[in-house]
């Protein structure tokens, strides 16, 4: 995936979540399935995208993501949430729930 494709998705989809990970990041790999499950079960209308920082440095640079894991959530083309490194599933759910219900 490149920057233009991602930017197009953010602009055209009502909601997009982008999860950034790094190849040798244990936390990234342990957290990713939990974050994906949160979105698929509780926020199914959000398009979930996984980006590996080492394979897509252009996207990381464009969005200012320099550490992993990082989660960016966009609603209607605007960045709503940015969580870097430490993120709890319950906390994510609470922060996303209200705007999600308003939008959908």
Determine the Cα angle at 38 with ends 19 and 49, to 5°: 30
pTM: 0.94
Q: Tell me how far apart the alpha carbons of residues 34 and 21 are, in angstroms, rounded to a whole number.
A: 14
Length of the chain: 104
Residue with tokens 């759910």: 93
Residue range 3-103 forms a domain whose CATH class is alpha beta
- Active-site residue, from 15, 18, 25, 72: 25
d(CA 62, CA 58): 6
Residue 1: predicted pLDDT: 79
> Mean pLDDT, consecutive 10-residue segments, the chain of 104 residues?
91 97 94 97 97 92 93 97 94 96 94
Residue ranges covered by each domain of the chain? 3-103
Which of these is catalytic: 16, 17, 18, 28?
A: 28
């Amino acid at each position: 995936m490149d920057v233009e494709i991602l930017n197009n998705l953010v602009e055209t989809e009502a909601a997009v979540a982008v999860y950034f990970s790094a190849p040798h990041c244990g936390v990234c790999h342990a957290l990713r399935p939990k974050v994906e499950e949160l979105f698929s079960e509780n926020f199914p209308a959000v398009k979930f995208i996984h980006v590996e920082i080492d394979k897509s440095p252009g996207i990381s640079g464009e969005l200012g993501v320099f550490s992993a894991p990082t989660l960016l959530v966009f609603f209607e083309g605007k960045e709503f949430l940015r969580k870097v490194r430490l993120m709890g599933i319950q906390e994510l759910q609470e922060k996303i729930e209200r705007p999600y219900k308003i939008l959908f």
